Structure 1
Amino acid sequence: MTGTTREVAGACPLDCPDCCSWLVTVENGVATGLRGNREHPITRGTLCVKVNRYLEQASHQDRILHPLRRIGAKGEGRFARIGWDEALDEMAAELSRIVDEYGGEALWPYQGTGALGYLQGVQGRAGTRLWNVLGASHHEMTICSIAGLTGLRYALGTSRGMDPEDFALSKLTLLWGTNTLTSGHHLWRFIEAGRKNGGHVVAIDPMRTRTAAAADEHLAPMPGTDGALALGLMHVIVASGREDNDFLSRHCFGWEDFRERVMAFTPERAASVTGVPAEQIRDLGDRIARTRPTAIRTSQGIQRHAGAGATLRALACIPAVTGDWHRAGGGLMFSTDTYFGGNREALFRDDLRPETVRKLSMTRLAEGLLEASDPPVMGLVVYGANPVVSTSDQNRVRAGLSRKDLYTVVLEHFPTDTVDYADLVLPATMQHEHTDLMDAYGHLYLAWNERAVEPPGECRSTTDTFRDLARRMGLREPSLYDSDERLAEQLLDSDHPSLRGITLDSLRTSGWARLNYPSPLAPFEHGFPTPSGKFEFVSAAAAADGLDPMPGYTPPLEVVDDEMAARHPFVLIAGASHFAINTIFGNNDELRRRAGPPAVVVHPDDALVHGLATGTRVRVFNSRGEFTADVLVDARVRRGVLSTTKGHWLKLTGGATVNATVDERDADMGGGAVFHDNRVSVEALETSQER
């Protein structure tokens, strides 16, 4: 390297389990290249098709480079440039006024998953110290994985599961409701290693995704019925006498009671619920029964319906019945986040907030803005989020954001659909322009992200913005002014064994480090962190929370509603695009070109009944709202289901997106979202116009 060229280690901040380690090439102070770190055991030198364009995205012509004040009506997106002093003075005055008039709970810090870091992002609840001091409402992160995490904790005592590197040891891998090759493709290398060693890969998904097409076998249940499928598979295992009785007797609590439930759920019953043929259920159940170890990879999409938590709880029972929880290469992986034993309490400083403070759910934004009282939400600060596109009940969300008495500030990179409703817009840095500390929810490695270049224009990091705001508000709590490095040191100041030998200095030197766990890893070799110390088929905690003490099948509300099905014959699911991460990259011209316009995939039999053909422009609708899309007739989606992709921007694709049709209600556990528990009708646009 010359004196003016260097490589700076960092990590991808985006909402993906892989948390890729990357290297930024900097020439004369300008970022000119980005590549995956070849030394990192997960990244292995490769980034995804999206992040390969990260630097291009950072220099996009639409990048917001200066503070902006609204000059038009809310929703119009008309702004005038102002200076940072003016912006911070206004924001400080407005937030102080709201606190004085209505109390701190009238403020809602609405943070999303646009950045996952512990300093700038949602893992560290960036800005939480400021909101705690002000007594703001507590923002509940319910949009992604909360329902599944809650369900797993009733069974396992934790949400942690397999080390993904151990999929290389698996003889049978079930990719259940996850599109690995699109959403976290680095796991595929370990899955392929297991397959080359004689393993078999099964995809379970209503859609034949990229991943399902690459698997050895594909089952296509109706959305939200996976819990019934899990019970049917366990019935096959137990009916054939191949459950692991030693594991069940020594390491499980409540097996005999749960066994009765399993035996009542025959393959025929499971078939009637899921739409998967009973013979296919028997065949897969038999394969699981005789294959050790068996591993399950599942992710967020499977638990976005009314029975979300119950589904993950049921899936976790399969490796208990087979004893795979005690085998390296066996078990289930949903999230690895809790392996990191950082001192989150020292980072969050929840001791600074009032003893009682109300909670507002991320996925009930419309309700919070339109119905909350005592006090009403009067100040909304949005960062790392684009809720106009990403949140349920889009039309009511837009109505809430249009309130004239609501003061809204948005920290952003680009003029998103949410920015259009802001009173004040503050330009934010991107990952290579600030420091951050990352962990992954898809592997066991920490990463340090060093700032590689100076921010463009007047962009400021989230931490700098909130430090500056605290000064303008005259707040005296010393911890509000801790530097990024100090915040990182406090997080790493932990006696948890996972961090033994890992310091900020060592992280900055190496760029990344594996948490201190053995490899291969049997995560519950020494017991489960439940009240009984065992896997709990019967959970007193679940019963105390008003839930079924045992795992079971909780139906998706709209999917199984016969009356609603008569009015709206299709179940609509919206998976991740291969060319965007949520709404990020939704404005990238090349990635938009490759993704194509919004489309709904329709099974040929359904297309025939409804008079649809590939290329037909349709209106997809229910009582909540509608959006338009092009039809793609293809048997890769099962009958009765429409499949589309999430993340399209309103201003780039038309007046509404898929979330205009999604109900704003909670799943069974944790207040999770129900994006895939959604019935709609489809009508050719020409027909609807004629009427």
Structure 2
Amino acid sequence: MNADATGTVSSITDTHCPYCALQCGMGLRRGPGAGGGLEVVPRETFPVNRGALCGKGQNAPAVLDPAARLTAPLVRDTRGGPLRPASWPEALDRVAAGLAAARDRHGPDAVGVFGGGGLTNEKAYALGKFARVVLRTSQIDYNGRFCMSSAAAAGTRAFGLDRGLPFPLADIPRTGCLILVGANPAETMPPFVRHLTELRANGGTLIVVDPRRTRTAELADLHLAPRPGTDLALALGLLHLVVAEGRADEAYIAQRTSGWPAARAAAMAHWPELAERVTGVPLPALREAVRLFCAPEAAMVLTARGPEQQSKGTDTVGAWIDLCLATGRPGRPYSGYGCLTGQGNGQGGREHGQKADQLPGYRSLTDPAARAHVAAVWGVDPADLPGPGRSAYELLDALGRDTPDGVRALLLMGSNPVVSAPRAAHVEARIRALDFLAVCDVVASETALLADVVLPVTQWAEETGTLTSLEGRVLLRRKAVDPPPGCRSDLAVLNGLAARLGHTTGFPVDAAEVFEELRRASAGGRADYAGISHARIAAEDGVFWPCPSPQHPGTPRLFLDRFATPDGRARFAGVEHRPSAEEPCAEYPLLLTTGRVLAQYQSGAQTRRVPELNAASPGPFVQLHPRLAARLGVSEGNRLAVESRRGRAVAPARIGAGIREDTVFMPFHWPGAGRANTVTNPALDPTSRMPEFKVCAVRVTRVGGED
């Protein structure tokens, strides 16, 4: 079912959607439509989506159309001059020279590498190896830092291991109560909703925590609408009620956890009336949530970007984990805590080395044993591996700075920070200040258009590679069609650059060969892929890690016998609520929160090129409550300016009762005047280094005219 030498598909190729971390199964075959002539065929056998696809997945082949994407390298002859087509040898020579010049003039850490959560495991692995072996730089991170790093930090602290979901999605309909915190899967990953409807059909209950009454909240038995930035206080208020009402599972706590006295004391300091005052959630609703959550034998909490993208995101997730531990949920059937990963390979992307502090296998870069193991696989001296570098926003903030620790040249692969980074106007200015920028991308993104060299790379249906879904299931996304002649894979780009920089071996272009090395590098690590291969994934339709040997069945459910901590016990966080980095004041009296809409994805670089998706979601907007609109004298469609201490975004008003009166919402998919991330706050969580995308103080004014 692979493409033949001409790229023709004679039968259906089983593969996966290129967008979110559900990685829905789909089939591709040659069809009459646009998008490289491929059409999507439902794939009923894949358990995550069972044939269902959202509009993004259904229209995914559109971006394969040469008219929608880059098809030849582009170079800029002079600073500020136009980009022009170039040959691959010229473009690669330019990139190698630009990176080498910065390294030779200012040292290895003057060269930065910025990756993406959509890169396959093979690409993420090779990119991390390239940064540390070829460039010898510590300055590498990726946009997945903006995805679930707070949940990863909290999960590692509590359980000793971070995997988005420690159980398969198929377990969700079999739980008794599910609390979704800051998640809107009805719009961000619609096929997930089937699991929610089955949960309720089976007699389970759904609680949604969100300051907006989203499409997901409409499905809930109970909707809690806290003030943005107060999810930590809400979790502690619920835990207080668990203790006060005698609902804690003391036998489980004694047998499987540590740190309960401190966590209990922290919860008792957040009495329900205080939680009500801080969050705005009425006390009766808090009591009802505890009743619903504690009544069944099995229950789950799943968090997403809402509680995680905060300057206290790690502690916020820790408080929700504490609620699960106090009620005896983690490590029991159909129960526990999990995180809904956002990007397509947000899970695998951080496991194999493109994160600033990690080596393949989810190993720590500061662990001497981990360094020795990976260095042996790579054939280098462990002492030659650089140490941890800056986190994503800190790396972007260091770009172009004329200081001893400034980053002067950047290789960027699979990301669009001009739209997606917080304080985006500042990040754009830093990118423009670089001595040299090279971008590998499928499309001419806003960031790519600032580059000195743009390298057109292959995408999902044009190459084979693995991704790791939000379940921890390692999947094989198969090639279905040949790319345009002017495009090369990211692996081929790294191979060509490595050779030009003195490394003629160690960077193969075949994904299966790269994966074989990844298996050896991950062996014995927390994310152990040693028993997984492309062939096995194809035969089993995915393998759950950890899988330490070919004979191992994989691990769909973690923690059933013990947690991954040294003593096997889960650890309570024992955290206390604190304010957001930026609270409303007289000058900026409202709160802004951001998120996604159904038809667009991430920075919109790809989905904004699909007519069907643009027709459904043509541009940015500002959602506000009718009473707030009345106070501001605003009508539907009026152009509004949303201003913070960092900048100003302008978009039309969308008025409705499905949002708190003290809050406005903007989606973040668009550049230009409506760029929501111009306004957002880069204040960082001290542990995860996650920026506070989800809450900042703003003022809203009408600027006149209709959209």
Scaled by the length of structure 2, what TM-score is found?
Answer: 0.87
Q: 2:105 aligns with which of 101, 113, 116?
A: 101
Q: 2 CA distance for matches of 1:290 and 1:350?
A: 55
1:157 equivalent to 2:173? Answer no
Q: Is the 8 A contact 1:203 1:218 kept in 2?
A: yes
Residue 649 of structure 1 and its aligned partner are, at CA, apart by 2.9
- % identical aligned pairs: 26
Which stretch shifts more, 184-193 or 22-31? 22-31
- 1:242-257 equivalences under 5 Å are 242-257=247-262
Deviation per residue, 1:550-593 (Å, 9 max, x gap): 223232221xx3xx422112111111121121023123232122
Q: Is the 8 A contact 1:203 1:217 kept in 2?
A: yes
In structure 1, the partner of 2:319 is 314
Q: 2 CA distance for matches of 1:643 and 1:350?
A: 50
In structure 2, the partner of 1:448 is 476
Residue 522 of structure 1 and its aligned partner are, at CA, apart by 5.9
In structure 2, the partner of 1:52 is 58
- 1:173-572 equivalences under 5 Å are 173-334=178-339, 337=347, 343=361, 349=378, 354-357=384-387, 359-371=389-401, 373-403=403-433, 406-441=435-470, 443-476=471-504, 478-481=505-508, 483-493=510-520, 502-509=532-539, 512-513=542-543, 523-537=558-572, 550-558=574-582, 561=583, 564-572=584-592
1:577 equivalent to 2:577? Answer no
Q: Secondary structure at the match of 1:65?
A: coil
Deviation per residue, 1:102-145 (Å, 9 max, x gap): 222111111122x241123x4x3636335432212332342211
Q: 2 CA distance for matches of 1:666 and 1:622?
A: 17
Letter in 1 for 2:178: T
Letter in 1 for 2:666: T
Q: Secondary structure at the match of 1:119?
A: helix
Q: 2 CA distance for matches of 1:553 and 1:362?
A: 26
For structure 2, the 5+ residue unaligned runs are 342-346, 353-359, 364-373
Q: 1 CA distance for matches of 2:98 and 2:422?
A: 28
Q: 1 CA distance for matches of 2:351 and 2:135?
A: 29
Deviation per residue, 1:169-204 (Å, 9 max, x gap): 111111111011122333322232221121111111
Counterparts in 2 of 1:519 and 1:565: CA distance versus 1, 3 Å: farther
1:91 equivalent to 2:95? Answer yes
Q: 2 CA distance for matches of 1:482 and 1:684?
A: 54
1:140 equivalent to 2:141? Answer yes
Q: 2 CA distance for matches of 1:618 and 1:312?
A: 33
Q: Is the 8 A contact 1:147 1:668 kept in 2?
A: no
Q: 2 CA distance for matches of 1:47 and 1:597?
A: 23
Q: 1 CA distance for matches of 2:72 and 2:195?
A: 44
Q: Is the 8 A contact 1:26 1:452 kept in 2?
A: no
Which stretch shifts more, 274-283 or 586-595? 586-595
Deviation per residue, 1:274-296 (Å, 9 max, x gap): 11111211221222232321111
Q: 1 CA distance for matches of 2:47 and 2:106?
A: 51
Q: Is the 8 A contact 1:438 1:447 kept in 2?
A: yes
Q: Is the 8 A contact 1:492 1:504 kept in 2?
A: no
Q: Secondary structure at the match of 1:5?
A: coil
Q: Is the 8 A contact 2:325 2:572 kept in 1?
A: no
In structure 1, the partner of 2:695 is 677
Q: Is the 8 A contact 2:257 2:570 kept in 1?
A: yes
Counterparts in 2 of 1:285 and 1:8: CA distance versus 1, 3 Å: same
Residue 510 of structure 1 and its aligned partner are, at CA, apart by 5.5
Q: 2 CA distance for matches of 1:377 and 1:151?
A: 30
Q: Is the 8 A contact 1:568 1:622 kept in 2?
A: yes
Q: Is the 8 A contact 1:35 1:46 kept in 2?
A: no
Residue 357 of structure 1 and its aligned partner are, at CA, apart by 4.2
For structure 1, the 5+ residue unaligned runs are 539-549
Residue 27 of structure 1 and its aligned partner are, at CA, apart by 7.0
- 1:580-599 equivalences under 5 Å are 580-583=600-603, 584-599=606-621
Letter in 2 for 1:570: L
Q: Secondary structure at the match of 1:619?
A: strand
Q: 1 CA distance for matches of 2:226 and 2:378?
A: 44
Residue 30 of structure 1 and its aligned partner are, at CA, apart by 5.8
Deviation per residue, 1:586-620 (Å, 9 max, x gap): 23232122113211110112112121121111111
May I ask how many residue pairs the two structures share in their alignment?
Answer: 660
Letter in 2 for 1:554: R
Q: Is the 8 A contact 2:36 2:66 kept in 1?
A: no
Q: Is the 8 A contact 2:172 2:199 kept in 1?
A: yes
Letter in 1 for 2:135: L
In structure 2, the partner of 1:545 is none
Letter in 1 for 2:669: G
